């Protein structure tokens, strides 16, 4: 069973966690809410969704997961201030396993300094930030470039989920043919 870490803290965009988390779980993936502290209740920026962090960033290793998801809202901006989260994202990137970021999620990738030479998308207001970090901003619903999957906004969630599944399945097919 493929295991996916959702990196979140308070202020996440409610629907950008709720829908992908639930859908991937329904499809048989092991979805795990990872935050800065284990067992902490976190609330979405709209106050409609709460989760309890299942694991802390300090308790996980890059080998523990097959993919990570970075939802938007205010959460990525808060997480990028945490050295352990940034270091984890940077090290996970080196594994070439999928990193999926939606909306403001690429802010965490910017701070981890992994965007140089990548094409990606995100919320329109961070387009210049992506470009300043060496990325090439595209205004598409989903962009897949090597191991980074990105989407712009909540409206793109169905395509975002499909892209995550496709990349996880592709990785599984590559493992089987090796």
Q: Which residues are known to be catalytic?
A: 103-104
Going across the sheet that includes 55-56, the strands are 55-56, 30-35, 3-7, 67-70, 99-102, 148-151, 142-145
**The pair of three-digit structure tokens given for residue 163, joined into one six-digit string:** 């892209």
Pairing of strands 142-145, 148-151: antiparallel
CB 26 within 8 A of CB 37: no
Number of neighbours of residue 178 by Cβ within 10 angstroms: 5
CA distance 35 to 145: 26
Residues contacting 175, CB < 8 A, separation 6+: none
Residue 26 CB partners (closer than 8 Å, separation 6+): none
**Cα-flanking dihedrals φ and ψ of residue 59, to 5°?**
-95, 0
Q: How far apart are CA 38 and CA 96, in angstroms?
A: 26
């Amino acid at each position: 069973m493929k295991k996916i870490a959702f990196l979140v803290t308070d202020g996440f965009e409610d629907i950008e966690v709720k829908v992908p988390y639930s859908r991937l779980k329904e499809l048989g993936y092991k979805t795990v809410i990872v935050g800065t502290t284990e067992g902490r209740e976190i609330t979405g920026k709209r106050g409609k969704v709460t989760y309890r962090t299942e694991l802390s960033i300090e308790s996980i290793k890059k080998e523990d997961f097959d993919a990570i998801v970075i939802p938007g809202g205010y959460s990525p901006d808060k997480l990028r201030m945490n050295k352990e989260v940034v270091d984890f994202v940077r090290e996970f990137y080196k594994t070439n396993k999928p990193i999926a970021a939606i909306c403001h999620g690429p802010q965490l990738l910017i701070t981890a300094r992994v965007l140089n030479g990548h094409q990606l998308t995100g919320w329109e207001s961070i387009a210049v930030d992506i470009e300043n970090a060496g990325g090439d901003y595209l205004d598409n619903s989903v962009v897949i470039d090597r191991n980074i999957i990105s989407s712009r906004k909540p409206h793109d969630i169905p395509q975002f989920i499909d892209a995550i599944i496709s990349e996880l399945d592709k990785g599984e097919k590559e493992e089987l043919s090796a």
